[in-house]
Structure 1
């Protein structure tokens, strides 16, 4: 075993969100039952299975794996051997499962799909976090998540040591280029719109504005934002932008971020680097469920 202690506590997935995902996935996969197992596997057969890693990575979704098994049949006993956020090696056994064979077989694909996806995101995030080690920048996700799976994917980012951006459109103001284009088309100055928004917003609501040119920075910061997003800036322009802001707001870098570029971006002194690829481009990690059917 090559398991390491989890580097961070990723918290939990909201129970209602997890329940909704599992119910939808199981209904999609077996709307009228598992005709294969019900036809071929005796009703009294039992199975023992191991969740094994085919490649190294960072685990996320261990609790989801167990929850899927229990949702199919509470008689299934699933034991995790690795905690979410921990690293593992190829060949490591991550969990063991025992229970009615039909139920284990019905739960297998949904449990694997979710855990593989989440572990892929956690593993990718951990690589980005390692790349910016020694800088002040934190790695955060975006809203570029799989529809219906945001709660799970954002949890996976936390398992990899990353952080979450706003949860949804409902919990923070983030004025991006299209918002600003609408304002400008109506003759409204961006600075005036920011000041007006600040007056109307509650004191706990975060206000962020995206800019794509150096000359936009000072007016936006002066208007009173909490965070300014520098979108698709070169590293030289990021250094200049951080100097202009001079601590008056958090500085977020976005756009053109990859494992090849993230270290240089973080070294410019930005506070946050947002990476859509954490969720929209992460591949599923190769995990397998090896089943031994008895009786």
Structure 2
């Protein structure tokens, strides 16, 4: 199986490209570089040197040194024997996200209930820069080789949550994701053909849920449904994950999908969404 590379955020050049020409004058490059420096710390580089950080970010050593000193004074990084590391203070950024987003607070008890009902892990994720980003999770058992937790990012094309999020995303977003993040094979079962993927997205939108087996990781089986906000917009995907050794696609469709739909409906109701009596179907010109 091809290695799954989880990331924290797009590199600085991706951020720059996403800023419209009309807002260039409002772009604060030093803030962008400071954030990019924080994001350079990851599982592969938990305690990099100044030189390594300069190589990872593409910034000059003097610039990296200034950013590190500033971040150290603010309490976000610390140094020891020539190596730098993040401090627990950076966790406050993620904490502020969860505290300022009603979605996560509303969804958490429903994830707990779903995990109790199914005996399997339950997750909530959003689409961010072409990837699926976990924003809430209740793990029951470890069924993936990677350590999935809040903040983990995985490719959208090979996951049930990603397909749900893409199925209800605007056509332009889907085009951008498939262009800037070309689907790659993660297992022998991964769908990588853009046309085939678009057809799958049509199917997901028509039936109201997605089931994916062994495309992100061999043996991983998951189902996901959309979560809507007050306006009816799909703002997240709710998923339940298990292994092919514990269940089959048919069992997931029969037993788990109805529970997911009920949980997503309850979350949406608390967010102000009024349930529709008819399931949405692809509109003309979709994609």
Instruction: Mark yes or no: TM-score above 0.5.
Output: no
TM-score by length of 2: 0.30
Structure with the bigger RCO (C-alpha within 8 Å, sep 6+) is: 1
Larger C-alpha radius of gyration, 1 or 2?
1
